[in-house]
Structure 1
Amino acid sequence: LSSACESIRSTNGRNLSLHCHMMYGLLEERKENILTLSDVMSAGKDNDDYFIPYKREDILDVFHSLYSTGLISVLKSEDKVWVVVNKGILLTEVNGILFAPETFKQHVDIASNTGIVSVSGLTRLFPEYDPKILICFLKNMELCQQMNPSFLTVTNLHQLAVEEEKEGGTEKRGETLLFFPCLLSTDRPDEMTSQLYQFGWCLQCTSKHHFFPPRYFHVLSLRLAYKMALPQEDDNLNHYCTFWKNGLYWFNGHGVGSLVEIVDESQCVLVMMSCEKGYSDNMVSLRRDVIGEVMSVYKESCPSLEVKELVIDPKELAYPVNTPKERTTYSVKAVLSAVVEQ
């Protein structure tokens, strides 16, 4: 118990309840790294050294308090709850293999160039883990999104998967799939360069030593795709989303095309939009939402980066824009200050 209390004190400055100390002591004493809620409740009943709440709701409250300190991870799937005592073990054994670079001996080519991984493929790679736990863990870290196979038909991922099958890849039709943007290795499609854009904005690192980490774009692209790009079931003809290794593009069915891309050697997030005649109001509304999401993920995942917001001169929106800082740009902060002064 003293070890558990010391861990809590060194990790979190605020006081936690005695139940939290007792619970963490009980979890540390167990040899398993992943426990179900039932496992914990049974262990509490059989152990006289640690007293923990009896009610499910009270135990979940204790889990939440410990989770908020970063000491444990809590995974939920429907009515099942798991506690991960040491997240580092999962990160090493799962993420360390899934996302290992090609030059590492741990590297496995599980997603080819599509970023799509079948649940059965994940199970074969990690037979010691319940696939539901793996999916919850990876989704909880916002590294993947579960996809219905029918959604592939409204993205370029469908064609990539078909091409992979023709080349001898694994058949994935009819199976639950996971999409990992970080495992997508496809280059920017040629058709992107033919788009004409009316608006350009970017979030630029101001230090040459700062870069947007890979996970930033993984999280951002998933949020944009599933909030704004991919359609609802009754609207599947109005949207089409194109992914590549450092960007995505979608048309919203209401006259506006949107592109978000990591450029300038990962030092800049680029947002560009095209607008059909008569749909300018839609573009204004959508760009507010997209830029808001870009900023939200930045503040959550890499707030220590020093950045500035820039608007690209409308006359210099010829795409691709690989280095926005070489175009004529205007500081959003300076523009807003000038407007206020007037």
Structure 2
Amino acid sequence: MMYGLLEERKGNILTLSDVMSAGKADYVIPDNREDVLDVLDFLHLTGLISVLKSEGKVWVVMNKGILLTEVNGILFAPETFKEHVDLASNTGIVSVSGLTRLFPKYDPDMLICFLKNMELCQEMNPSFLRTTNLHQLAVKKEEEGGKEGRGESLLFFPCLLSTDRPDEMTGQVYQFGWCLQCTSKHHFFPPRYFHVLSLHFAYKLALPQEGDKLNRYCTFWKNGLYWFSGYGVGSLVEIVDESQCVLVMMSCEKGYSDNMVSLRRDLIGEVMSVYKESCPSLEVKELVIDPKELAYPVNTPG
């Protein structure tokens, strides 16, 4: 009955106040906030609606597909499309104020919560940039925004990166290579696959923070990333062959082969897990690359 009442409300996004005022003579919405949230959480689990929560605020998205289509059409339109917006530098970092200007009719907290839930971005504190080679971007943000700019959060979208593969990646030699390859010429890994996969790697495999020491260092480009684990193992993950193949390459320093074997299991497991969650309809096969063919860039098996 609750779902039927929500369907009758105008609009795809409802606040908790909208929900609690949706009652009719034959069905009274409980006055207790927690009781209403329990019902909404149940409907969320069934997949009928999406419930977003952020710092005490609650929104109900009746059809997340509609909102996702709108977001994709504005944020991720290719440069050749008239809808394309030059929102980010080639770092993939976007300010919250910049995002708000593009979606003036939406609550910024709701929109950020939705984007994070869809695993399209990760929120960043500007102070983080000062510990990276992006510190000049942080200075620029402060100059543009004054005191307000200093406290503004930033969002990192892997999908908005536009840099090509760094030159230092070319010519490296690895000890292990594996790939997940589409078996149909009509199948491709969608852009969101790499977005989700890279964020999973960043937050599941990062080393623990040690004071001010930055342990989450990696090199990102538009279709791949590389990082050194700190335990003698280097890892590269890249979408290649015109988005038809996920390539995993690993190297290790002398005496660290056991660490590479352990991390290899985690990397391949994550690649497969995200594939099954985000694009299970793709027909794929797993291939181990001949150790004699591991000079990078590698020719993936046909």
Same fold (TM over 0.5): yes
Q: How far off is 1:152 after superposition?
A: 3.6
Greater RCO structure (CA 8 Å; 6+ sep): 2
2-side partners of 1:143 and 1:316: how far apart? 34
Q: 2:301 aligns with which of 315, 325, 337?
A: 325
Do the aligned residues in 1 keep the contact of 2:88 with 2:94 (CA within 8 Å)? yes
Deviation digits for residues 266-309 of structure 1 (CA, Å, limit 9, x no counterpart): 11111111111111111111111111110100110111111111
Other-structure match for 2:181: 204
Aligned residue pairs: how many? 298
Q: How far off is 1:170 after superposition?
A: 6.3
| Change over 3 Å in CA distance of 1:120–1:233 after alignment to 2 | farther
Q: How far off is 1:161 after superposition?
A: 4.2
Asked which structure has the greater CA Rg, the reply is 1
The answer to whether structure 1 residue 39 and structure 2 residue 39 are counterparts is: no
Do the aligned residues in 2 keep the contact of 1:230 with 1:240 (CA within 8 Å)? no
The answer to whether structure 1 residue 250 and structure 2 residue 227 are counterparts is: yes
| Change over 3 Å in CA distance of 1:245–1:59 after alignment to 2 | same
| Change over 3 Å in CA distance of 1:205–1:116 after alignment to 2 | same
| Change over 3 Å in CA distance of 1:188–1:222 after alignment to 2 | same
Do the aligned residues in 1 keep the contact of 2:171 with 2:295 (CA within 8 Å)? no
Do the aligned residues in 2 keep the contact of 1:216 with 1:302 (CA within 8 Å)? yes
Other-structure match for 1:298: 275
How much identity, in percent, do the aligned residues show?
84
Do the aligned residues in 2 keep the contact of 1:155 with 1:241 (CA within 8 Å)? no
2-side partners of 1:106 and 1:226: how far apart? 32
Q: How far off is 1:143 after superposition?
A: 0.7
Please report the TM-score for the alignment, with normalisation by the length of structure 1. 0.79
Q: Which AA in structure 2 matches 1:110?
A: L
Q: Which runs of structure 2 are paired with 1:128-207 in the superposition (5 Å)?
A: 128-152=105-129, 158=134, 161=137, 175-207=152-184
The answer to whether structure 1 residue 110 and structure 2 residue 87 are counterparts is: yes
Do the aligned residues in 1 keep the contact of 2:13 with 2:60 (CA within 8 Å)? yes
Q: Which runs of structure 2 are paired with 1:11-26 in the superposition (5 Å)?
A: 22-26=1-5
Please report the TM-score for the alignment, with normalisation by the length of structure 2. 0.89
Q: How far off is 1:184 after superposition?
A: 0.7
2-side partners of 1:193 and 1:103: how far apart? 29
Do the aligned residues in 1 keep the contact of 2:91 with 2:162 (CA within 8 Å)? yes
SS in 2 for 1:259: strand
The answer to whether structure 1 residue 260 and structure 2 residue 237 are counterparts is: yes
Unaligned 5+ runs, structure 2: none
* Structural RMSD (CA): 2.5
